[in-house]
Structure 1
Amino acid sequence: MKGLILCAGKGSRLYPFTRSYPKSLLPVANAPLLHACIDKLVEQQITEIGIVIHPEQESLIKTSLAHAKRWNAKFEFIYQHEPKGIANAVLLAQPFIGSHSFIMLLGDNLMSISLSELRERAEVEGNPATLLLGEVDAPQDYGIAEVENNRIIRLEEKPHAPKSNQAVLGAYVFTPVLFDAARGIKASARGEYEITDAIQWLIERGYQVSYAIAEKPNIDVGTVPRWLEANRLTLQEKGINEIHPSVIFENCIFVEPVSIAEGTILKDCTIGPYVSIGAGSFLEGCHLKNCIVLEQVHLKQLPRTVEHTVLGQGSVISGVRA
């Protein structure tokens, strides 16, 4: 079995953070989303992993993977030049996948559970598609599955009137039969070849589609509030402060849980709960709660508590306390 991670999206809803930073490299608790996806595949002993990217992302993503140096895996980059949808990305990956079954992950999703149950269900039932489902609060924002007698009978992408709140959570197991489905569909109204349409193509031709249920929420990190939620839940699950040994701090209070990356300097600060601070940042006289601070950020003497905020890479903010 091979792995496939889709990372070519532009992340327009997260501008300006994603103008020069691929969405798949956005950090959650100081770990890029892409790295977390790779971890999930490697846990399944999958060591041949294709990564679908836009050519503009190549340098940053390759640098990020080279810097991590923690996987005994082989990566192959597959280029999607135009945003034509997930089913199009799958077809572009066909030469890499060949005749193998594969686990596909969306690179902007935070996978909060092991993929073991999903893989086991796929291997036991032997169907061409097995999906990870989970309940969501805003089903109109997702691909939604209609389930009847323990079978998926219909899928709909971002429906105006959802028939359930069981969303497809960005993790799939497919056999090569999916390539026929991806070639057999037309572009949607938004001009993309939807993976939900490809799976529906299978259903309409009599193929069985399996599913596993996620007990914990997976999060599509597509907006700033969801990004902050993913950061909060990840830190909450860790439950402790993760402070790199190189961090220098003086007269600071840390309210668990927080994550502070290497080379950061903190003075007269209260940090936490649910705060991650990227490498090489400098903070003095600040109080942060439920925030994501990217790399090389300088904050000094902020007059009030900063909450529910993402501070972009290289930001410089200075205030005067009253």
Structure 2
Amino acid sequence: MKIIVPMAGIGSRLRPHTLTVPKPLTVIAGKPIVQRLVEDIASVIDEKIDEIAFVIGTTAKGFPTDTEEQLLKIAAELGAKGSVYVQEEALGTAHAIYMAKESLSGPCVVAYADTLFKADFTLDVNADGAIWVSKVANPSAFGVVKLQDGIITDFIEKPKDFVSDLAIIGIYYFKSGDKLLEEIQYLIDNDLKENNEYQLTNVLESLKLQGAKFIPGTVDAWMDCGKKDPTVDTNKQVLGFEHEAGNNLVAKDIVLENSEIIQPCFIGENVVLKNTKIGPYVSIGANSVVENSTIVNSLIQSNVEISNAELDNAMIGNHAKYNGKYTSVSIGDYTELT
């Protein structure tokens, strides 16, 4: 089994946090989003992962020079070969997958690195593919599917009128990566674009018309990392899942002076807490110092200095300094509010 992860988008909706760190590498509860995504897929698929292929953007789009090294390490930790491809120009969802054409063979999962999920799903190896979906209150904002007798019959992009509340979350299984590549190649060779882009929904529709049967994979939780508030909420949900699983995410070498940690929390290595109450639902990255503060339901990255703060629903980037009593803040990397 292979996993293909298109992650070349610049993540403009999550700025200022994505000005220096690509959205898929944003750390949630101690791990980058993309790492949690592939780990979750590996646990759901319950098959050996042979290769993980990542499709990234250029350094000009904000991808650091060590991005490839980070991604290859993530693949290696799952016992898989890592491959990294670069998408020079954003030409649609199908085009992003096409960038990994050298890895598109055999059974594969395609997962866009925008969301995290929790699911209890057994893959039907007899199906031609599976598309993970989640019930949503506002289907008009998503691509949705229609079902008949447990088989997907239609793919509808952002329907104006109600046709289904099963939204496509951006994770797909294809029994044949070769066939997927063949259909994408046809789109590109014939310049079949929609809104000036090569769309995966067109590929899915073509495969369906040729007789391919797709089944839905449902999820118990679908966590968005597109904007600041949903990302903070995703951090909260992930911390809750980790706590329920009995995982301790507080490093052993933290310095705790007249301070309290209310679980669930992630506290990285070499963190100093003085006269401070942390939690619940707080992540604080390594080498950070927090003094005279109360922080709940917040996502704090690494090498941060915080003092005299009362924070709730806050997101603070790496190497930031914050002194004050503002709440619900969103501070990017290397920012100072003192």
TM over 0.5: yes
Are 2:236 and 1:229 equivalent residues in the alignment? no
Q: Which runs of 5+ in 1 are unaligned?
A: none
Other structure's SS at 1:243 match: coil
What do residues 242-290 of structure 1 show as CA deviations (whole Å, max 9, x unaligned)? Answer: 2111211111121211111112111111111111011111110111111
Closer/same/farther in 2, CA of residues 224 and 158 from structure 1, 3 Å limit? farther
Q: Could you tell me how far apart the structure 1 residues matched to 2:260 and 2:208 are?
A: 56
RMSD: 2.2
Other structure's SS at 2:40 match: helix
Q: Is 1:144–1:162's contact at 8 Å kept on the other side of the alignment? A: no
Q: Could you tell me how far apart the structure 2 residues matched to 1:224 and 1:277 are?
A: 16
Equivalent residue number for residue 272 of structure 1: 279
Residue identity matched to 2:137 = D
Equivalent residue number for residue 167 of structure 1: 167
243-252 vs 132-141, greater mean Cα deviation: 132-141
Residue identity matched to 2:53 = G
* CA apart distance, 1:134: 1.6
Q: Is 2:2–2:107's contact at 8 Å kept on the other side of the alignment? A: yes
* CA apart distance, 1:124: 2.3
Residue identity matched to 1:101 = P
Q: Is 2:104–2:181's contact at 8 Å kept on the other side of the alignment? A: no
Q: Could you tell me how far apart the structure 2 residues matched to 1:35 and 1:249 are?
A: 29
Equivalent residue number for residue 194 of structure 1: 199
1:64 to 70, 78, 86: 70
* CA apart distance, 1:65: 4.1
Q: Could you tell me how far apart the structure 2 residues matched to 1:140 and 1:18 are?
A: 27
1:178 to 177, 180, 186: 180
307-316 vs 63-72, greater mean Cα deviation: 63-72
Q: How do 1:209-288 residues align onto structure 2 when only pairs under 5 Å count?
A: 209-214=214-219, 216-239=220-243, 242-288=249-295
Q: Is 1:36–1:111's contact at 8 Å kept on the other side of the alignment? A: no
Closer/same/farther in 2, CA of residues 180 and 62 from structure 1, 3 Å limit? closer
Q: Is 1:144–1:156's contact at 8 Å kept on the other side of the alignment? A: yes
Q: Could you tell me how far apart the structure 1 residues matched to 2:186 and 2:68 are?
A: 33
Q: How do 1:293-304 residues align onto structure 2 when only pairs under 5 Å count?
A: 293-302=300-309
Q: Is 2:40–2:118's contact at 8 Å kept on the other side of the alignment? A: no
Other structure's SS at 1:124 match: coil
What do residues 135-188 of structure 1 show as CA deviations (whole Å, max 9, x unaligned)? Answer: 123323322111122221111223333421111122211122222332344322
Equivalent residue number for residue 108 of structure 1: 114
Equivalent residue number for residue 2 of structure 2: 2
Equivalent residue number for residue 138 of structure 1: 138
Q: Is 2:72–2:82's contact at 8 Å kept on the other side of the alignment? A: no
Q: Which runs of 5+ in 2 are unaligned?
A: 327-338
Other structure's SS at 1:256 match: coil
Q: Could you tell me how far apart the structure 2 residues matched to 1:102 and 1:283 are?
A: 44
Q: Is 1:257–1:272's contact at 8 Å kept on the other side of the alignment? A: yes
Closer/same/farther in 2, CA of residues 315 and 160 from structure 1, 3 Å limit? farther
Q: Could you tell me how far apart the structure 2 residues matched to 1:2 and 1:67 are?
A: 16
Q: Could you tell me how far apart the structure 2 residues matched to 1:138 and 1:224 are?
A: 20
Q: Is 1:231–1:292's contact at 8 Å kept on the other side of the alignment? A: yes
Are 2:53 and 1:53 equivalent residues in the alignment? no
176-185 vs 306-315, greater mean Cα deviation: 176-185
Q: Could you tell me how far apart the structure 1 residues matched to 2:68 and 2:137 are?
A: 35
Q: If the length of structure 2 is used for normalisation, what is the TM-score?
A: 0.85
Q: Could you tell me how far apart the structure 1 residues matched to 2:6 and 2:230 are?
A: 19
Are 2:317 and 1:315 equivalent residues in the alignment? no
Q: If the length of structure 1 is used for normalisation, what is the TM-score?
A: 0.88
Q: Could you tell me how far apart the structure 2 residues matched to 1:307 and 1:278 are?
A: 17
What do residues 73-125 of structure 1 show as CA deviations (whole Å, max 9, x unaligned)? Answer: 21011111111122112222222223x121111122213236x52xx22x122
Q: What percent identity do the matched residue pairs reach?
A: 25
Are 2:90 and 1:83 equivalent residues in the alignment? yes
